[in-house]
C-alpha cells in the first residue's frame, strides 16, 4: 500500500464513488427511459400509426370505388334513359305521327260523293243539309279519338321531357357536383398526402417479423446508435459500481486495521487510478446520455411533424368517410327515390299496352296500326271499293238483266211456242178419240211466266229501253269519279 494513501483518502474516494455512482445510476435510468421511449416511438408507435392510416385509407379506397361505381352507373343509366327516350321519339314515334298526319291529310283530300252514302245513314243524320255537299274520308273516322290520342302522346312526351330534365338537374346538383367537388377533390388530396406518408417513403416495412427500418437512414441510424450506446452504458456503470465496491472494501480495511484479513483484498493503486479516471468516466457517461437525449429529441422532432401529418390525414379520412355515409344516405337516396317515382310516371300510359312494352312503344305501335288501317282504307277506297261498287251497281245488274231478258224473250218464249204447237198438233191428231168427259191434255195448265219480280236492278232497269241500256247521270258521275281516283 502506498504511504500516501490513508484512511481519509479512501473515505474521500468512497464518497466520490458513491455520489458519482448515484449520479450515474440516475443518468442510466433516465437514459434507459429515453431509449425505451425512442424505441417505442420509432419501432411501435410510428408503424402502428402508419398501419392505422393505411387501414383507414384502404377503407376509404373501398368506399370511393363503391361510390364511384354507383355514381358512374347512375350517370350512365341516366344518359342511356334519355338517349333511349330521344331515339324512340325521333326514330319511331315522330315518323309514325308524321305518317299519320300524312294519311289523314290524304283522307281529307279524298272526296266522298253523297250518292255513295248509305240511305240508312241519310235517315239517321241529324244535319241533312250537310249531305248535299260532298264529304271526305276523314268524315268517316273518329278524328276526336285520334286527336285525344295525339294530345295524350304530346302530354306524355312533354311530361317525360320535364321529368328527364328534373332527373338531369338533380343528378348534376345532388349527385355529380358533390361527388366531383367534394368527394373526388378531397379524395385525391387525401391520396396525395398518403403517398407522401407511404411507409416506403419513410423507409418503413410494415410486414410482421421484419425489421421495420431498412431504407430510412436517419431513423435507422438513431436506432443503431441507441443500441450501441445502450451497450456502452453497461460497462461504464459496472466500472463505477466496482470502483465503489472497492472503495467500501478499502474503508473496511482501515476500520478493521487487520491487513491480514483474507476478506479484505484491496489494490489501492488501482483504486487510486480508478478514482482519478472516475470524472472522465462520468463525463463519458454524460456524453452518452446527452447523445441518447439528443436522439430522443431528434425522434420527437421527426415524429412530431410526421404524427401531425398522420393525424391530419386520419382526420381528413374520417371526415371524408362521414361525408360518404351522409352522401349515400341523403344525396344518393333522394335521387334514387326520385328515379323510382319518375319511373312510375314514365310507365303510365293512356292506352292499354303489353306487359313488355313501354308507353312510347305502345303509342308507336298504335299509331302505326292506325296508319296501316287508314292507308289500307284509302287504298281500298280508291282501287277496290269504287270499282266494286260500280260493278255491283251497274255492270253486273246489266249483265244479269240482259241474260234474263234474252232468256225470257228467246229461250222461254221458244220453249212455250214449241210446247203450244206440240199440244195443238196432238189434239188435232188424237183429240177426236178421247171422250169429252176426260180431261184433254193441252187445253189448260201450260206452264207460263205471268210476272217476273226482280230485286237489285232498279239502277239499270229504269234506263233500259228497247233492249238497250242508257247511262244514267249517277252512273256517269261514278264512272268519272273513279277515273279521278286513279290519277
| Residue with cell string 273516322 | 141
Q: Return the SS3 of 181.
A: helix
Residue 468, pLDDT > 60, answer yes
Q: Give residue-wise pLDDT tens across range 396-407.
A: 888 888 888 888
> How many angstroms separate the CA atoms of 270 and 181, rounded?
79
Higher pLDDT, 66 or 218: 66
> CA quadruple 462, 463, 469, 472: dihedral positive or negative?
negative
**DSSP-derived pairing of the beta strands 111-112 and 468-469:** unpaired
**Chain-wide mean pLDDT for the chain?**
86
Q: Give residue-wise pLDDT tens across range 85-141.
A: 999 999 999 999 999 999 999 999 999 988 888 765 555 554 544 444 678 999 999
Q: Taking CA 417 as the corner, what is the angle to CA 414 and CA 422, rounded to the nearest 5 degrees?
A: 125
Residue 332, pLDDT > 90, answer yes
Maximum C-alpha span of the chain: 216
Given this model, what pLDDT does residue 119 score?
66
105-114, 167-176, 191-200, 280-289: segment of lowest average pLDDT: 191-200
> How many angstroms separate the CA atoms of 140 and 125, rounded?
13
Residue 21, pLDDT > 60, answer yes
Q: Give residue-wise pLDDT tens across range 250-280.
A: 888 887 765 555 555 678 888 888 889 999 9
* Burial environment of residue 328 by CB neighbours within 10 A (0 to 12, 13 to 18, 19 or more): middle
Amino acid at each position: 500500500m502506498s504511504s500516501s494513501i490513508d484512511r481519509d483518502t479512501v473515505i474521500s474516494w468512497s464518497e466520490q464513488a458513491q455520489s458519482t455512482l448515484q449520479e450515474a445510476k440516475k443518468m442510466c435510468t433516465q437514459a434507459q427511459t429515453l431509449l425505451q421511449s425512442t424505441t417505442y416511438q420509432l419501432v411501435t408507435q410510428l408503424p402502428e400509426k402508419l398501419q392505422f392510416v393505411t387501414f383507414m385509407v384502404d377503407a376509404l379506397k373501398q368506399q370511393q370505388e363503391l361510390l364511384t361505381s354507383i355514381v358512374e352507373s347512375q350517370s350512365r343509366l341516366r344518359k342511356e334513359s334519355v338517349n333511349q327516350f330521344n331515339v324512340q321519339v325521333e326514330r319511331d314515334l315522330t315518323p309514325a305521327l308524321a305518317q299519320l298526319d300524312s294519311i289523314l291529310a290524304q283522307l281529307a283530300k279524298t272526296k266522298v260523293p253523297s250518292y255513295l252514302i248509305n240511305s240508312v245513314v241519310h235517315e239517321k243524320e241529324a244535319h241533312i243539309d250537310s249531305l248535299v255537299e260532298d264529304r271526305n274520308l276523314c268524315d268517316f273516322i273518329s278524328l276526336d279519338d285520334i286527336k285525344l290520342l295525339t294530345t295524350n302522346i304530346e302530354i306524355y312526351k312533354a311530361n317525360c321531357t320535364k321529368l328527364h330534365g328534373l332527373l338531369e338537374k338533380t343528378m348534376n346538383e345532388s349527385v355529380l357536383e358533390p361527388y366531383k367537388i367534394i368527394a373526388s377533390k378531397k379524395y385525391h388530396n387525401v391520396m396525395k398526402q398518403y403517398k407522401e406518408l407511404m411507409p416506403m417513403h419513410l423507409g418503413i416495412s410494415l410486414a410482421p417479423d421484419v425489421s421495420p427500418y431498412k431504407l430510412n437512414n436517419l431513423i435507422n441510424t438513431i436506432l443503431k446508435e441507441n443500441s450501441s450506446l445502450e451497450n456502452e452504458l453497461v460497462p461504464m456503470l459496472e466500472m463505477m459500481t466496482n470502483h465503489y465496491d472497492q472503495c467500501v472494501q478499502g474503508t473496511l480495511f482501515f476500520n478493521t486495521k487487520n491487513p491480514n484479513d483474507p476478506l479484505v483484498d484491496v489494490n489501492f493503486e488501482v483504486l487510486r487510478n480508478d478514482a482519478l479516471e472516475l470524472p472522465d468516466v462520468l463525463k463519458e457517461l454524460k456524453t452518452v446520455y446527452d447523445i441518447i437525449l439528443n436522439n430522443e429529441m431528434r425522434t420527437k422532432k421527426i415524429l412530431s411533424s410526421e404524427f401531425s401529418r398522420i393525424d391530419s390525414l386520419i382526420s381528413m379520412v374520417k371526415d371524408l368517410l362521414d361525408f360518404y355515409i351522409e352522401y349515400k344516405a341523403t344525396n344518393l337516396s333522394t335521387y334514387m327515390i326520385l328515379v323510382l317515382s319518375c319511373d312510375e310516371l314514365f310507365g303510365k300510359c293512356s292506352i292499354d299496352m303489353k306487359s313488355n312494352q313501354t308507353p312510347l312503344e305502345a303509342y308507336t305501335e298504335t299509331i302505326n296500326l292506325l296508319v296501316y288501317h287508314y292507308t289500307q282504307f284509302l287504298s281500298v277506297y280508291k282501287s277496290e271499293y269504287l270499282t266494286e261498287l260500280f260493278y255491283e251497281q251497274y255492270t253486273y245488274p246489266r249483265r244479269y238483266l240482259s241474260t234474263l231478258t234474252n232468256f225470257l224473250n228467246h229461250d222461254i218464249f221458244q220453249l212455250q211456242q214449241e210446247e203450244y204447237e206440240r199440244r195443238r198438233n196432238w189434239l188435232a191428231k188424237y183429240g177426236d178419240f178421247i171422250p169429252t168427259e176426260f180431261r184433254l191434255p193441252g187445253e189448260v195448265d201450260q206452264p207460263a211466266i205471268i210476272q217476273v219480280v226482280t230485286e237489285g236492278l232498279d239502277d239499270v232497269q229504269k234506263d233500259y229501253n228497247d233492249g238497250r241500256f242508257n247511262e244514267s247521270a249517277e252512273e256517269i258521275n261514278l264512272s268519272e269519279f273513279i277515273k279521278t281516283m286513279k290519277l
